[in-house]
Amino acid sequence: MTTPIDISEQSGVRFLHFGTLWIQGAMRIARPWSLELEYTREMMASLLLRDASHWPRKVLLIGLGAASLTKFLYRHRLLAHLTVVEIEPDVVAAARQFFKLPEDTKRINLVIGDGAEYVLNCNKKFDLILLDGFDQNARAGVLDTLPFYQACRARLSDDGVLAVNLLGRSRGFRGGLSRICAAFEDRALVFPSCESGNAIAFAAAGNPIEISFDDLKENALALKEETGLNLLPTLARLAQARTCLNNRLVL
């Protein structure tokens, strides 16, 4: 790796850095299975969009980081098989040593490789693709291009959902959203930016999604009861932004 992996701790939270101040992942040491960073919690809003009783069964995660999303799904979606693609072996080692990444080869398939190449070359279908891959300077590179988003769409099942962490820097995240919209024929939606500047975009392929805010709240309450994850503030921000017509989320 061209830059070192740094581990820091502050106020009971352990952080992962790639040789810069940019935070690549975090874990509250007393609650290692919880989602510490707001944007990771918002990426799990994808779980509100389909039937939670059997979805998702097959998940692809591009970018391991501190393994927060991997651990959450591993613990709370017991029927899901997780494929995680991480380009840096040292990140995998750090996730195991410092962030309690489970070693369960039956449910977690860890692939050391380039996420874009994996998506372009594989022939598998996934119910959920979570895209959270950045370099040490918080750049997504080829993971934020139209051909890559088109390849992601081709890899989604009939109930497939793509969730993307769009980290807006000087140019913001609108370019990335426009590329996702182009790849998914406008079946995409971005949630209002988190305080950290992250904005989470969702896109769907196959079967349509149309769900009222009341049903979203009901799903969020069930998810909170099951996992402790509270997405009600996220839904409130989405409602205030008025990006969903007639209080319905349609993808």
Helix ranges (DSSP H) in 44-145? 68-76, 89-98, 115-121
Residues 179 and 142: beta-carbon distance below 8 Å? no
End-to-end CA distance of the chain: 39
Helix, strand, coil percent values for the chain (each to nearest 5): 35, 25, 40
Helix, coil or strand: residue 246: helix
Helix ranges, the chain (H):
38-43, 68-76, 89-98, 115-121, 146-154, 174-183, 213-227, 232-241
Enumerate the active-site residues: 132
Distances (CA, A) of 219 to 80, 106, 197, 207: 19, 29, 26, 19
The residue type found at 99 is F
Chain position carrying tokens 């807006």: 168
- Residues comprising the chain, all counted: 251
Is residue 161 within 8 A of residue 58, CB to CB? The reply is no
DSSP lists the bridge partners of residue 163 as 130, 202
Q: Which two tokens stand for residue 218?
A: 């009901």
